[in-house]
Amino acid sequence: EQLSDTGAADFRRDNLGFIFQEYFLLDGLTIRENISVPLTLQKLPYKKIEKMVQSLAERFGIASQLDKYPNELSGGQRQRASAARAIVKQPSILFADEPTGALDSNSATELLKTLKEANEELHTTILMVTHDAYAASFANRILIFKDGSIIRELLKQDADRRTFYEAIAQEVAKLDTER
């Protein structure tokens, strides 16, 4: 079935979230306002928006930054604000394009842990594109692409994250030798 332009926009607004490597926060809005944008578009009551934003800001460790503007935050804080904005409406699917690419290792780990919690607690499916085996190790399922085709699938199963990381690194090494 084909959606109209309005139907497609409504579907994106209600069901999808996006996190990009570049944060795409609105510079003229505070972090609180940036995170609130998706809920405002859904026309939710102000008090409900405030409660949801506060809760998510605490989860992402940026509650003390809510009244600041994006240019006053570190890269890690901006990326966590961007992730909070994407998750605040509890989308069915969250698309993350290299979300840790511009972050230091501590900020990347914190973001990945929080995304994993969102996946587990909110049942949000997260589709992440990454070239980073460490970031990929937080996933449950990995599809490895080459020239536009899926060439391997890795499932976490019962392995711990470190063991899964090692399996991913081995697959990446194989890819490098197959070039």
As annotated, the residues of the chain forming the CATH 3.40.50.300 domain(s) are 5-130
**Percent of the chain, pLDDT > 70?**
99
Query: Could you report the per-residue pLDDT of 84-127, keeping only the tens digit for each?
Result: 999 998 899 999 999 988 888 888 898 899 889 888 888 889 99
Count the Cβ atoms, other than its own, within 10 Å of residue 51. Answer: 12
Give the contacts of 92 (CB within 8 A, at least 6 positions apart). 15, 16, 124, 125
Query: Could you report the per-residue pLDDT of 80-96, keeping only the tens digit for each?
Result: 999 999 999 889 999 99
CATH architecture observed for domain 5-130: 3-Layer(aba) Sandwich (3.40)
In the predicted model, is pLDDT for residue 179 greater than 70? no
Provide the pLDDT confidence category of residue 146 given band limits of 50, 70 and 90. Answer: confident
Average pLDDT over residues 129-157: 91
The predicted pLDDT at position 157 comes to 83
Query: Could you report the per-residue pLDDT of 5-57, keeping only the tens digit for each?
Result: 888 888 887 889 899 888 889 999 999 999 999 888 888 899 999 999 999 89
Average pLDDT over residues 46-69: 94
The 8 Å CB, 24+ separation contacts for 42-50 are 42/13, 42/14, 42/89
Strand-strand pairing, 125-129 and 93-97: parallel
Q: Exposed, middle or buried: residue 126 (CB in 10 Å: 0-12, 13-18, 19+)?
A: buried
Pairwise CA distance, residues 129 & 73, whole Å: 25
pLDDT, mean over the chain:
89
